[in-house]
Structure 1
Amino acid sequence: MERIRAMVARAEGIGVPRGCKMFRHALHAVARLSNEKIATKVEHLKKTFMWSDAVVGIVVSKFPSVLLRSNQMLQSKSEFLVSEVGLEPTYIAHRPVMLSYSLEGRLRPRHYVVKFLKENGLLDRDRDYYSAVIVMEKVFVDKYISPHKEVAPYLAEDYDAACRGEVPTRFKFT
């Protein structure tokens, strides 16, 4: 019983109140972590994403499982999302579920498609990257690939290749 009380206290301590729908996920995350490991992970998140304590609190309350992600995975996603995609760290903080998606299987391939479409005038430049990442595979294909079959006939093939970890040479960027 004492162990359960300690887990509840740790979950509340990371900013997830008992009545919140994320509380169950927070319990799952902190069940595997000591207070010291949580503090270490919080420091890594602050350093990697340039987030303040308050922003890390927002991230953890929205996506407690971020505490279970490896430092290497978080680092590679930070480098990609901030440096390559050009997202602001606060943008990521308010959409932390992006950190749960596969870098090679989802984030990078969809970035290539969105960037290709924007740079070729086939997609509004103000289109939000998150809206392309969050949708299911079928919806993504229906919204971002299928409408452009005529003007970009290899887009579906190139996207499939990108999902396999290849960078098709036809993804030309200006």
Structure 2
Amino acid sequence: MIPIALLLLAIGYLLGSTPSGYLTGRWLKGIDLRDCGSGSTGATNVLRNVGKGPALAVFLVDLGKGALAVLLAKSFGLNDWMQVLAGLAALAGHIWPVWLGWKGGKAVATGFGMFLGLAWPVGLASFGMFMAVISIFRIVSLSSVVAALSLPLLMILSGQSAAYLSVSLVAMVLVLWRHRSNIQRLIAGTEPRIG
């Protein structure tokens, strides 16, 4: 099982590192998203610099990267910890893609996909938190931070395994770390709203 597990971790990383947002910016607008807006290659920066339709497509692809990494591990009968590692490999690939000089997105959509793969009720509940906050405040980063903060609590309330709870804590920290500049702007009252 060790060779299969290692192969699935590598596949998870490569899935995650597929630069969907970057390619969308290049193909549709001839821009490098790393030089625009937040510098992220994720769906939010695509929304601001390319448009709504492309942003939705990037969001769905990025979501799929996280979910597929976990579902592949599940399909091979790997335990909860290996499923978590496969999901984290996809997150790492999205944040630090080998193809883009280790500068990628903030991993919110990929993380959402990972949690849908691990425990879909928790993933959906976290997405509900995201949608509630964005509908009230129209700030993507605030919605992402609130959804990330809710993950460990949702894992505990739904009685998930120690592996799943652990990854929810890691994902929360990763999202907060990747959004540190957004958090500074939120505190300063300068974070942009959508619409």
Greater relative contact order, per chain length (Cα 8 Å cut-off, separation 6+): 2
TM-score, normalisation: structure 1: 0.29
Greater helix fraction, Structure 1 or Structure 2? 2
